[in-house]
Structure 1
């Protein structure tokens, strides 16, 4: 019986679930999820891993096995019948070889799918064709945590303009669906004067399911930073633009985060402007 810790918000929970699913399969063990994870994910997705009861969790003597945020050869040979994987794994290197199964696990419940498609259809209006681009702008605690703790930045107006113009030039019928936990900033910084930008996010961290489903149902993705955007892009397929090199080279963040194991090779990175982090001359 293998399980994984249930920590973090939606993107983290998805990363933990997918990693448990893949590693238990590789090592020939049955995976079970904790009640907290079931509560988080089963309301949104048609997940199939069984849940272990709280009572049972307490009775088992688990072997905690901490994971890096990327796959290592040794993870194919983890010993133990009662293993609890720990950490915040969110890397395609764990599960991309069974992508089809992972996408199957993260199939949205029908009512969520219908809700998303209904909203996107309304945005289409009288247009003959539409290419939907989901835009996730992660702000919240990251606005302070990135510069103060990780020597990094969050996405700025310049990045979003570049990313959106890429899609505008490529698809004449592009429509942008913006979700964020900093919607006031988005409305101030994102140019919606062309009539192709819709601010859909409710800005509430506590109800991310609807926002997530909305951009995962789009054709393409613009993400900023964070696992929420990574997973939305992974589920949407299509083209993805991400914020690249958003920390200084000596950032402690790079000890726990490996960009090459996080962003798919075909995704397009636009380098962040790090000048706000550099001392004023």
Structure 2
């Protein structure tokens, strides 16, 4: 009987210990969460000026479902290899595979060149898109002399080879960027299935190609943001002028770019020629002050005393619609200085254009973008980056009928 009582007491003690341990695990799990949803929605974070990426709220907007997910738990198409680009319009790549680059001086090997966009944002995106093909798949690449001439005046490290008859022989086949990327990805998938090595030494291309469109894969760019930033180092004079423009705007705050106690959020507003472009190409209406006010509020809830610096091709509209005590307009007419000014911001509010996205991409911090349900605008549908936030336009008509 005594032994039975001892066993019963021991079982009771073990049961109590198990219950206590379960509560301990639950408490530990709760403390490991980033922040409660209610707190993430309402809290204001007091942060230093030079803050790293990913420091904003821990829940981000997803345009497809409107739901929110915790930062650090996002799933991108890049984690699902074999979802082919032409099937998804996204740009996956093989994280575990590395391709030995084809020597640029090997004139007998196929190469890839690209057409030249009209505007600075197009040229920067085309250059970066072409570079990523070499970085990810090891193919030979080249740019046309006009692109080199334009970019070299603005950036001090444009090193991609210029296409010359002696080094890039033959007439390349015309192709879109998505089609070529899909071809490279499928070939890489086939090679991977036939080898156990993580280093692929055989070239993926048998034919030379010329990309005829104006690529700017937002999802791929954000996955390689630091790499792309390293490709475009502004020349000293461009940066100096951009900093001077910022300092002129900050005079009323008795501050300078390098001497301030508040974060700078750059804002890009493109109007003039873009209104017709938005309607004809993407069936979108122009962004109004409602979107920018929503974006201002987004940062005000998360930063301590942010200051918004606006660059635009229509400064008069900005002064009439946006200017406030914490919103300043940079009156500049030099595109490369506006892009450099955007890159100097701690965080960014962008519109739909390539220039807008590129300027923010070259900077640090977080990016807000106008949320739209228009099926013809799909440039950001694959973006799952934790630094990229969709903000409501604030109007009922998101695209024209």
Which of 5, 13, 16 is the matching residue for 2:123?
13
Which of 241, 258, 261 is the matching residue for 1:115?
241
Change (3 A) 1:113 1:136: same
Q: Which residue of 1 aligns with 2:327?
A: 197
Query: Shift of residue 85 of structure 1?
Result: 2.0
Change (3 A) 1:89 1:19: same
Checking the alignment, whether the CA contact within 8 Å between 1:18 and 1:102 is kept in structure 2 is: yes
- Most deviating of 36-45 and 138-147: 138-147
Query: Shift of residue 83 of structure 1?
Result: 2.2
Whether 1:268 and 2:268 are equivalent positions in the alignment is no
Which of 283, 295, 311 is the matching residue for 1:179?
311
Q: Which residue of 1 aligns with 2:254?
A: 126
Give the Cα separation in 1 of the matches to 2:388 and 2:399.
26
Give the Cα separation in 2 of the matches to 1:65 and 1:97.
24
Whether 1:30 and 2:140 are equivalent positions in the alignment is yes
Which of 339, 343, 353 is the matching residue for 1:216?
343
Checking the alignment, whether the CA contact within 8 Å between 1:135 and 1:178 is kept in structure 2 is: yes
Give the Cα separation in 1 of the matches to 2:362 and 2:391.
21
Checking the alignment, whether the CA contact within 8 Å between 2:219 and 2:380 is kept in structure 1 is: no
- Name structure 1 gaps, 5 residues minimum: none
Which whole-Å deviations, capped at 9, do the CAs of 1:137-174 have from their partners, x for residues lacking one? Answer: 11122212323553212211111111112223333332
Whether 1:2 and 2:128 are equivalent positions in the alignment is no
Query: Shift of residue 57 of structure 1?
Result: 9.5
TM superposition score normalised by structure 2? 0.59
Change (3 A) 1:20 1:276: closer
Q: Which residue of 2 aligns with 1:88?
A: 214
2:309 alignment partner, SS class: strand
- Most deviating of 126-135 and 93-102: 93-102
Change (3 A) 1:90 1:173: same
Change (3 A) 1:100 1:270: closer
Whether 1:141 and 2:273 are equivalent positions in the alignment is yes
CA radius of gyration, larger in: 2
Q: Which residue of 1 aligns with 2:160?
A: 49
How many aligned residue pairs are there? Answer: 266
Checking the alignment, whether the CA contact within 8 Å between 2:222 and 2:361 is kept in structure 1 is: no
Which whole-Å deviations, capped at 9, do the CAs of 1:75-103 have from their partners, x for residues lacking one? Answer: 33463453222211101444555433321
